[in-house]
Amino acid sequence: MTLYRLYTERRDLPVLEALVSGRFDGYTLYFTAGIWRGLREMSVVVEILADDSPDTVTKVRMLVADIRVSLNQQAVLWTVQPAVQATLETGEPGA
């Protein structure tokens, strides 16, 4: 598994969520502040846990490009980090 993180200015969250949801079934949003070219801005980090297949990397690259254009961003930073372990617990609590 691989952890992808996308960093962008917090603009039009419904558009951002629609872009991410259109490509990935699940993700996490972190709301934070960042500095871009000396100016403080409200930011959002999109965290996606997925495989590292060429298809997934292409989806992430396309998502980054769509975020940049759709939200009128000069740049969108994205990072890739191997996930040492990921466990998704499902089912009824206590089952």
pTM across the whole model? 0.87
Q: Are 43 and 7 in contact (CB under 8 A)?
A: yes
Q: How far is CA 77 from the centre of its chain?
A: 10
The pLDDT tens digits for 17-76 are: 999 999 999 999 999 999 989 999 999 999 999 999 999 999 999 999 999 999 999 999
Q: Angle 32-75-31 (CA atoms, 0-180°, nearest 5)?
A: 10
